[in-house]
Structure 1
């Protein structure tokens, strides 16, 4: 089977995905959605995303892209120097999730087959942004709206986009 690459991210309406290497919001139901979607799958992410205080790691397999891998990897952690090296390490997988950060999303956007993209319905301050993309390349397959409540300061929509294939 062909390796399928899936971007998974949450961004504000102004494309913010992070502030000081943390998420700029706390959305427990969105995290639960993330866990459901990615359970038992391999992850690719940059070093800063992996080291973020609020980072989620795969209990199965994490490939970290960094120019300076440590001498010893932790459990379920592998290192690659670049995107092609990460993909080569995971060539035996069928479904791989790309977790960011911004430069990893930018480099992998053209390779992704799907995007699990949560839109946080707010304009927030940040220093990391999801890259611009052409919506004409994607079909919205599903969308689930979640309103703001006592546990969620912002409303959000958990969207699944599937890349349109040339006919």
Structure 2
């Protein structure tokens, strides 16, 4: 039996599910970035190519698997390429925890497989061209939520939430 890593999604979305505009985040939230770094430090990232190449993308200092239709990219020390989600997960069979960083289509493909959602809700509605997939909230338990007020460094208030997938018994 092959080992499969625990898959987690980490993302930030507006109240209208926007996660991006022109391959950038539509907000600047320094304390949310700190949270992201704390949660993902030393972990493996699984991401789509456009998200990986975004100007404001964060990369794992440990290991990055990038999904691309052209996996014959130049090899680099901490970057590997895979054609699709299944082959990306197969590359990561020896990892314990893997964070899925998007974009929208990668989130949609990975959502049925993930055990946890680290999902920041930015308390605003914004224009965007990339959206987080619709969630069936009946499948998720809210484990923790940390609210952050808008302030001089944060244009919008936001809540950093952790959800775990409900077991069959809980549904």
The 5-angstrom pairing of residues 10-159 of structure 1 reads 10-159=12-161
Q: Does the residue aligned with 2:133 lie in a helix, a strand or coil? A: coil
Task: Flag structure 1 segments of 5+ consecutive residues without an equivalent.
Answer: none
TM-score normalised to structure 2 length: 0.96
Q: Tell me the CA shift for residue 75 of structure 1.
A: 2.6
Supply the distance in 2 between the matched residues of 1:139 and 1:71 (Cα, whole angstroms). 39
Supply the distance in 1 between the matched residues of 2:75 and 2:57 (Cα, whole angstroms). 17
What count of residue pairs does the alignment treat as equivalent? 167
Moved over 6 A (4+): none
Q: Tell me the CA shift for residue 70 of structure 1.
A: 4.2
Tell me the alpha carbon deviations over residues 57-101 of structure 1, each in whole angstroms, 9 at most, x when there is no partner: 000000000011244122300000001100000000010000000
Which residue of structure 1 aligns with residue 164 of structure 2?
Answer: 162
Cα separation, partners in 2 of 1:75 and 1:2, compared to 1, 3 Å: closer
Supply the distance in 2 between the matched residues of 1:158 and 1:132 (Cα, whole angstroms). 18
| CA RMSD in angstroms, aligned pairs only | 0.9
Cα separation, partners in 2 of 1:156 and 1:71, compared to 1, 3 Å: closer
Cα separation, partners in 2 of 1:71 and 1:101, compared to 1, 3 Å: closer
Q: Does the residue aligned with 2:46 lie in a helix, a strand or coil? A: strand
TM-score normalised to structure 1 length: 0.98
Supply the distance in 1 between the matched residues of 2:128 and 2:4 (Cα, whole angstroms). 36
Task: Flag structure 2 segments of 5+ consecutive residues without an equivalent.
Answer: none
Supply the distance in 1 between the matched residues of 2:77 and 2:31 (Cα, whole angstroms). 27
Does the 8 Å contact 2:119/2:162 carry over to 1? yes
Supply the distance in 2 between the matched residues of 1:71 and 1:125 (Cα, whole angstroms). 33
Supply the distance in 2 between the matched residues of 1:75 and 1:153 (Cα, whole angstroms). 37
Supply the distance in 2 between the matched residues of 1:31 and 1:73 (Cα, whole angstroms). 28
